[in-house]
């Protein structure tokens, strides 16, 4: 089993993560895995390890030393993730209609669903403001976050100080809440070498900020905590992982590799487009090439774990190569039709 490192980020300020719509007035609560990889890469550049890191992770023909899940919300002892498509909401029970709008559910509840266990429907309720399934009657009257809008103004200091007001979207996290992600390593040796370096990179990101409006103090973290173990144990706790099957529940974006034996006529998956800008100083913020990827929460059917690959998204005129990480982090789950 591959070792993993769970990262819990406890924000101290609002965060602005760009939404799929690209609208300034909106924000996202999920930090996608390709953006996590990019941010870690830029942090490792400041720490002096970028060249070694790129050599170990950006070759499409070699197994990367580490791959990342996307970063999803957490609250107290609950880790949230997109439910497996096609299996949520449960087929039976009165909660089916009430839970249909849940975009994020606790991984512990997902594990119970995948193991075929019954759970108390009255113990959970949907927080419609953030789309999370939260414990009913818990101390937290809300879910782990709220979408907010902040009024800003761009001041022209060249032509007389005229101000152009605008509204920007952001995410405010509740107390004892934040974002979590996991790094999964290829081997124990890879974990021994890169585990401490990735921890240093996330600590640096917590201090310097993540996402937009960092110059205004957004994207900072009060603390970043780490927990080592196996990914299934970290996600599902003592109850254990679901029975393995031919379905693979994606916890990251994924760009399927040419050799991935995915059955495209089965499963339940969503495809999204990813763009973004080059984060390096040399790249000058140029727009990356757009590529299509499998979204988190998708379930693909394959006889073995999908590997994924990196995609060359270097914009014209950029002085250095730019790749988008599409390595898959997936959990094996039962799927209808299993032998």
- DSSP letter (8 states) at residue 330: E
The CA distance from 199 to 229, in Å, is 14
Parallel/antiparallel/unpaired status of strands 72-75 and 221-230: unpaired
CA distances from 211 to 103, 173, 214, 259, 311 (A): 22, 15, 7, 33, 22
Token representation of residue 298: 């998708």
- DSSP letter (8 states) at residue 297: T
CA dihedral 252, 255, 256, 257 (to 10 degrees): -120
The CA distance from 13 to 274, in Å, is 26
- Edge-to-edge strands, sheet with 247-250: 299-301, 247-250, 330-333
Cβ neighbors of 198 (< 8 A, separation 6 or more) are 5, 40, 66, 183
- Tens digit of pLDDT at every position of the chain (339 positions): 789 999 999 999 999 998 888 888 889 999 999 999 999 999 999 999 999 999 999 999 899 999 999 999 999 999 999 999 999 888 766 566 678 889 999 999 999 989 988 878 788 889 988 999 999 876 656 899 999 998 878 787 777 667 888 889 999 999 999 999 999 999 999 999 999 999 999 999 999 999 988 988 899 999 999 999 999 999 998 888 888 999 999 999 999 999 999 999 999 999 999 998 888 777 778 889 999 999 999 999 999 999 999 999 999 988 888 999 999 999 999 998 754
Give me the pLDDT at residue 151, please. 83
Give me the pLDDT at residue 92, please. 65
Q: Are 219 and 13 in contact (CB under 8 A)?
A: yes
pLDDT, tens digit, for every residue of 51-90?
A: 999 999 999 989 999 999 999 999 999 999 999 999 988 8
Q: What is the 3-state secondary structure (H, E, C) of 138-152?
A: CCCCCCCEEEEEEEE
């Amino acid at each position: 089993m591959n070792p993993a490192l769970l990262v819990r980020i406890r924000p101290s300020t609002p965060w602005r993560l760009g939404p799929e719509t690209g609208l300034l007035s909106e924000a996202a609560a999920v930090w996608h895995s390709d953006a996590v990889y990019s941010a870690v890469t830029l942090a490792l550049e400041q720490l002096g390890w970028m060249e070694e890191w790129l050599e170990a992770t950006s070759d499409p023909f070699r197994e990367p030393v580490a791959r990342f899940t996307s970063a999803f919300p957490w609250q107290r002892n609950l880790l949230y993730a997109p439910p497996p498509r096609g299996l949520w909401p449960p087929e039976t029970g009165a909660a089916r209609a009430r839970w249909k709008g849940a975009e994020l559910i606790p991984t512990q509840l997902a594990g119970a669903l995948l193991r075929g266990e019954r759970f108390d429907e009255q113990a959970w309720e949907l927080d419609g403001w953030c789309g999370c399934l939260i414990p009913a009657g818990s101390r937290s009257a809300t879910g782990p976050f709220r979408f907010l809008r902040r009024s800003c103004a761009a001041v022209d200091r060249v032509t007389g100080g005229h101000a152009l007001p605008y509204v920007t979207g952001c995410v405010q996290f509740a107390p004892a809440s934040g974002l979590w992600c996991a790094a999964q390593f290829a081997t124990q040796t890879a974990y021994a070498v890169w585990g401490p370096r990735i921890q240093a990179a996330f600590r640096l990101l917590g201090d310097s900020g993540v996402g937009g409006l960092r110059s205004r103090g957004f994207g900072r973290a009060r603390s970043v905590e780490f927990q080592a173990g196996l990914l299934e144990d970290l996600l599902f706790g003592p109850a254990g992982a679901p029975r393995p099957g031919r379905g693979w529940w994606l916890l990251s974006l994924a760009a399927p590799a040419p050799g991935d034996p995915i059955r495209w006529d089965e499963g339940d998956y969503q495809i999204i487009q990813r763009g973004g800008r080059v984060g390096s100083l040399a790249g000058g913020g140029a727009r990356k090439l757009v590529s299509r990827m499998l979204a988190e929460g998708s379930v693909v059917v394959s006889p073995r774990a999908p590997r994924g690959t990196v995609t060359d998204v270097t914009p014209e005129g950029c002085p250095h190569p730019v790749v988008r990480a599409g390595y898959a982090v997936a959990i094996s789950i039962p799927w209808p039709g299993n032998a």
